[in-house]
Structure formats: C-alpha cells, structure tokens
Chains A and B, each alone.
Chain A
Amino acid sequence: MTLQRPPKRQLRPLALVNARLVDPVSKRDEIGGLLVDDGIIRDLGPQIGRAHVPEEAEIIDCGGHVLAPGLVDMRVQLREPGEEHQETIETGSLAAAAGGVTSMVCLPNTDPIIDDVAGVEFIARRARETKRAKIYCYGALTKGLEGKDIVEMGLLHQSGALGFTDALTAVADAQVMRRALSYARTFDLLVVQHPEEPRLAAGGAMNNGELASRLGLSGIPTCAEVMMIERDLHLVRMSGARYHVAHVSTAAAVEKIRQAKQEGLRVTCDTAPPYFSLNEAEVGDYRTFAKLSPPLRGEADRRAIAAAVAEGVIDSIASDHAPLDVESKRVPFAQAVPGVIGLETLLPVSLELYHKGQMPLIDLVRCLTSRPADILGLPQGRLAKGAPADMVLFDIDRPHRIDVAKFRSKSKNSPYDARPVQGKVLKTFVDGRIVFAADTHA
C-alpha cells in the first residue's frame, strides 16, 4: 500500500498590472506590470499589461500605485520566546505585513537568549509556521550576552543566523570584541554593534544637554556613540571583519563611518525613523514613549542623520521595533525601559524624507529593501526576474493620521500616535501570497 501525498496546492499565477514599478537595483521607476508564478517574479516591465497575462492568472489592477520590493527590516525584537505578553512572532508578523515589511531580523535578547543552535532553530521553526513575513534572527555575539566568550558562530550561521550581535548592549571589553570580529572573519560573518560606550551611558535616561539638565535627568553624551564606533573601527581595520553599526543617532558617528567607508573598511550602518524624524524635545514632559536607546538627540544631530540617509552614508533604515508593555513605560522616566515599536510606522515615517524633498523615492526604497538585503546576504529586496515575489503596494500620497489603536502589534509604545503622514500600505505580498490587504474604505 502506498500513501499518496496530497498534491501540493498550486497558487494561481498572479499578474499585477497598472503598477508604478519602483526597483532600486535596476533603478526602474515606470508604469508596468509584474508576473508571479510559484512565489517567484517571472517577468516585469512596461510591456506587461492586462492583455499580456496568462489566461489562468489572477489579475490585480494596482491603480498606478507604487509597487516596490517588500521592506527588509534589519532590526526588530519580537519578544518570543520568553516575553510573549509584549509581542509574539505571530503578532509581530501581522504588524510587519500591515507595515509592508516582508522580511525581518530579530535580535537574540529573548528568554532564553539565542546563543546556541537550538535557539536559532526555534526561530526558524516558528518562522516557517508564520507565513506572513520572512523571519530571521541574529545570534548573540557572546554567550549569554555577557560580553565574555564568543558563541559557536560557525554552527549558528549554518543553522540560519544572519549575523551576530549582543543586541542592546555593546561588547565592552576591547579584547573580546577584537576576538569576536576576528573569529567572525573566519567565516566572513556580519557583526552588528549597538554603539554605546557602556560606562558613559550607564544610568543615563536621555540625551545629554540643556534639556536633560532642565528636566533633572542624567544624560547620555553623544560622544558615547562615536567613541565605541571609533574603537571598533580600529579593530575592524585589524581583523578585516564585516561590521555593521546599528541605529546611528549622531553626526559625529556619521562622520566616522563616512571616513571608514572611504578608507575601504567593510563597514555598514543603519538608523531608525525616530533618529531622523524626532529630536530630544519629544521627551517634553517626561514622555516615556520618547525614551529610546540610543536616546533621541538634538536637532542638529537629527538633521545630520536625515542628510546621511539621503547621501547614502547610512545604508539602511530599520524599524528598531521594540514592543514594551504598559508597565515598562508607565513609570518615572528614569525607570522606563527604552524602546518604541516601529513596524507599522517604518514606511510612512521614512516617506517623510521623500515628501520633504530630501531624497528621491528610489534611494529611499533602496534603504528599506535591497541595501539591507545585500548586507544580510538575502536574495529578496528587489523586483527582478527570479527574485522572491515579496512586494509592497502603497499609495504614496494618501494623507492620514497614525492611529496606534489600530496597530496589530501587541504593544502600543509608539511616539507617533496621531502624527499626520503621507503614504499608506495597500497590499503586502510574501512569495506571491497576499499577506495584508488594507480595508479599502479606511
């Protein structure tokens, strides 16, 4: 007796027509169509219209809206395993789909910490079960995030870890960081650093300066960031490793990274929307939703970050999604846990840079898609024949107010509630499947 497997359910081919195709790799920005079969982009271009699609295909008229690669978010915390009351892989994926994010990389600061093969395999298994977004993880750089002993980077990478980081803490010991970078170089793996000199930042609640002094809060100086980056750059020079600086927030750090890139070091960096859209004044009357790590900086730094994204010194924009429960935020400012959610505001807040005329759309899309994918070694993040059909369709101009109450994320700690923005996600596709469709009457 032979057991017959049920035939694999084939999705109908999909034809997206009348779309504004925006692809940062081919630098395409034109009206056309795109064909998907079996989860892969089979063809695209202006020649593909309603008349030229296969008979059996399902046709979606995009109404001339932007069809871009799905967003690739390099830095999220999904709180699973361990803190499922704040977020789960399931709710995080719903939020991602609603935000047009089709791939995301979560940090290893879960409970238990992702510092062994079992942890990486857990995330991989949960990612397979959750079909709304592609979920990857970084492994811890040091065991237990303790900053002492390096993890089994080779084995973790073989299990799927895309890079290594101690998440919210910098590796303080220069010798440990030197060896971690050197060991990562063995397999040419990416090391991601939270750039903050820990002793300088210890106890700090917000950006150092006049406002902190007036509020009576202890400050974290901007130099805490650039000092750590400078130290690491010396070690990168020595080891030849691939080094990525997460959430850059200061002008001084941008300058150092610019120089390092000119020198030819293998250095990349990202920032998160708060650092180019908000400044320290947001803290105002001790608003804990404006408490981040690194902290929101002064206006000059905010401008410098926006300019660095436009210029390309900052490679990528990540949501830095940090879901936190009410108890983490409804406390005196100094005691509040830093972090804000970002999956559902990543696109509209980033689009402010385009709407204000600071950078062309195609460059902004690159920061959100192909550039992070390239840094992570992922094939998605582009509209190209043969690429995975991960895409986002959005109305670039539609004005609306951010309504945190409607967010899919389990936690609501966003600093952007009621902010007027332009740009709304209409549909999100992962491997050719629609994983999110906006309520058309909204």
Chain B
Amino acid sequence: MTSTQTSRPSAFFPHRHLLGIEALNPSEISRLLDLANRYADLPKDDEQARRLLRGRTVMNLFFEDSTRTRTSFEVAALRLGADVINMSVGTSSIKKGETLLDTAMTLNAMKPDVLVVRHGDSGAVNLLSQKVDGSVINAGDGRHEHPTQALLDALTIRRRLGHLDGLLVAICGDVLHSRVARSNILLLTKMGARVRVIAPTTLLPGSIDRFGVEVFTDMRKGLKDVDIVMMLRLQLERMQGAYVPSVREYFHFFGLDYEKLSLAKPNALIMHPGPMNRGVEIDSEVADDINRSVIREQVEMGVAVRMACLDALTRPLTGYNGSGQNEPADLQNGGRS
C-alpha cells in the first residue's frame, strides 16, 4: 500500500474521518488513547513530533463560536508541524444548506489534509465530510457528538485511575442539549464503564434509557458510590422557565456541592467540559478543589488527544504501513504502557 494525494484509512486507524465515537470500536478507542497518552508525555517541542505533519494543512472551520476547542486543535496541529488555517464563520453571516456545501467545495479546492469542523446543526459535519477529499474531524455538531472531548475525558480518567472498565460514571446536567454527554455515554459504555445520567426530566432526551445508561432524577441517589462525576454546562437561556424554573432551584437540586459530592466515592473525580457556570451547575469551591477536580487536566489532555487524532488520520500520508516500523521512536517507547 502506498499513500496517495487523498487520505484513506490506515490499518492503525481504519477511518478516513473522525465524525463520532459511534463508529469506533473499543480497540480503536484504546489505540487512540494509547497514542494520546504518549503525546501527553512528550515535551511540547519534541522535534520528531514536529516533523510528522510537516507540509500538511489543517483547517479549523468553526461555524459556532469556540475558543477552547479551536485553540486546542490549533496547538495540537502546530506541535505536529502542520500549517494551520483558522476559518471562523459566524453563523449569522452564513446561510444554511447549500451554502455549507458551497463552503466545503471552496475549501476543498484548497486541498486541506484535515478539516476540523464545528457546526451548530447535528449532522452538518457528516454532510460536509461527504464532499471533501481530506479527513474531517468533528469538533462538535449540534447536540450530536463531540468525539475529541469524550476521548480527552477518557484519557484524563485513564491517567488518574488506570482504566475505564468497571468504573461508575455519573453524567449530570443538561444531557438533552449536550453533544459531550452523547459522546461520553457512547465511549464509556463501549469501554466497559457503567454510566448514570442525572438531570431533571426536562433535560433528558427521550428514550435515554435505551442508551445503556441508568437514569436518575434525584442527584443524591444518582451520585451514590460513583467514581467520576461529570458535570455538564447549563446554558443561561435554558434556566429561566422553559426547561428549568430558575438558577436557584437548579443549583439546589442539581448543582454539585460538597454535600451532594459526599455521596460519591471518597476520592471521586470531578470533571467539567467547560466553560463552567460557577454557582449554577457547580459550586466554585468544588470546581477549584485540587484534590478532586481534574478540570484543568482535561484541558491539557485535550491537546494530546487532538495530536493523536490528527496523527492517526494522516498516517496514510505520512507513509505509515501498519507494521509499526515507521512510528517515531519516541512515540514507541515514551508512553506509560
């Protein structure tokens, strides 16, 4: 097998795009996490890593505002030596449907190797991926998926606790509108963790019990004996009566404070995809608890995971043939295991 101009699946990662956790099997997820784990331990100016994507173009195409995720992808691409182009397309200035595809065709003509795309509509990234020659990474589409967030969460957990299988994870808050929740539920259940979702019924998607999770509307019951507490962001406009009557009531029943946290396992970790609404879904003190909160670690792992995803998707271009021989030495030996 030799590489061509267009990317195609490698044996290491047999997908052209990373559109969601849905399409991945447990061994593919493990491989991505192993690779990300090695990147996490590399110095940020590692020379060999910097050669991996030299001459390749990574385009960040964000139809929805984002600072954290876009920056994280940008840093990851730069550390791998890629040329990075940021395209911020305000949703107000763009019309839906045809225009999305027009944009895709235009960008495709510039031959990016990887397109990192965020869009406010579920399925939009998938649609775009069908029209371009390079690889597409979903950086969040509507309420559908946010695969790199789930991967970075998993990596954070693995580095803290050593494994995912058998863990009891509570995902709390606005599950209905959360792509982070969906990707995490998929990833964690595929990897053998038990997942609970905790939310007022208005913030739970229909038939959520069919996702292989346990459903709780009482946070005190739901947090009992969990290893991980994942909090979700609740957007302000959703807590003024339509889904939740008030911030006060939400925090009282669903905000993570020490009292509710005391029901989880003694050393249960606290996670949040950010940005946090302090005093809404999480008590400020809990969020800053250096012994329990791994929220800053999540951000750090975000870069490593995105480096791994960029690497995995471009391997046909970098000549990787599946035997492991072409893998940079540092990456072969630098990881924990």
Write the residues of chain A forming the contact surface with B, with a CB cutoff of 8 angstroms: 142-143, 148-155, 179, 182-183, 185-187, 238-239
* CB pair B202 A152 closer than 8 Å: no
Query: Does B6 touch A at the CB level, under 8 Å?
Result: no
Q: Are A179 and B242 in contact (CB under 8 A)?
A: yes
- The closest CB in chain B to the CB of A178 belongs to B202
- By beta carbon, the residue of chain A nearest B243 is A179
Q: Binding site of B, secondary structure by majority: helix, strand, loop or mixed?
A: loop
Given known A143-B241, A150-B245, A239-B201, contact A185–B217 (CB-CB < 8 A):
yes
A149 to B237, CA, bound (A): 12
B321 interface residue (CB < 8 Å to A): no
A183:B202 contact, CB within 8 angstroms: yes
B246 and A152: CB pair below 8 A?
Answer: yes
The answer to whether B201 and A152 have CB atoms under 8 Å apart is no
Q: Mark B155-196, 1 if CB is under 8 A from A, else 0.
A: 000000000000000000000000000000000000000000
With A179-B202, A182-B202, A183-B202 known as contacts, the answer to whether A148 contacts B241 (CB < 8 A) is yes
In the complex, whether B9 has a CB less than 8 A from a CB of chain A is no
| 29 interchain pairs, CB-CB under 8 A | A143-B241, A143-B245, A148-B241, A149-B240, A149-B242, A149-B245, A150-B241, A150-B242, A152-B245, A152-B246, A152-B248, A152-B249, A153-B245, A153-B249, A154-B252, A154-B253, A155-B248, A155-B249, A179-B202, A183-B200, A183-B201, A183-B245, A185-B201, A185-B217, A186-B201, A186-B202, A186-B217, A187-B217, A238-B206
How many chain B residues touch A (Cβ–Cβ < 8 Å)? 16
Provide the B244-268 mask, 1 if CB < 8 A to any CB of A, else 0.
1110110011000000000000000
- Asked if A155 and B252 make an inter-chain contact with CB atoms under 8 angstroms apart, the answer reads yes
If A185-B217, A186-B201, A186-B202 are given as contacts, then 14 extra A-B residue pairs at C-beta distance below 8 Å, sorted by A number, are A142-B241, A143-B241, A149-B242, A150-B244, A152-B248, A154-B249, A154-B253, A179-B243, A182-B202, A183-B202, A183-B245, A186-B253, A238-B206, A239-B201
Query: How far apart sit A252 and B263, CA to CA, in the bound complex (Å)?
Result: 49
Binding site for A on B (CB under 8 A): 200-202, 206, 217, 240-246, 248-249, 252-253
Q: How far is the CA of A238 from the CA of B205 in the complex (A)?
A: 12
What's the Cα separation between A231 and B245 when bound, in Å? 23
A151, A155, A179, A183 interface centre (most CB from chain B within 10 Å): A183
> What's the Cα separation between A177 and B53 when bound, in Å?
54
Q: How far, in Å, is B174 (CB) from chain A's closest CB? A: 13
B-chain residues with CB within 8 Å of residue A153 when the two chains form the complex: 245, 249
Q: A185-B217, A186-B217, A238-B206 are in contact. Are A151 and B201 (CB under 8 A)?
A: no
Chain B residue, CB-CB nearest to A188:
B217
CA distance A434 to B242 in the complex (A): 47
Q: Which of A149, A154, A239 has the most CB of B within 10 A?
A: A154
B200 close to A186 (CB less than 8 A): yes
Chain B residue at minimal CB-CB distance from A150: B245
The 4 closest A-B pairs by CB, nearest first: A149-B241, A186-B200, A152-B249, A185-B201
Complex Cα distance, B206 from A93, in Å, reads 45
Q: Which residues of B contact A150 (CB under 8 A)?
A: 241-242, 244-245
In Å, the complex CA distance between A148 and B242 comes to 7
Chain A residues, CB < 8 A from B244: 150, 183
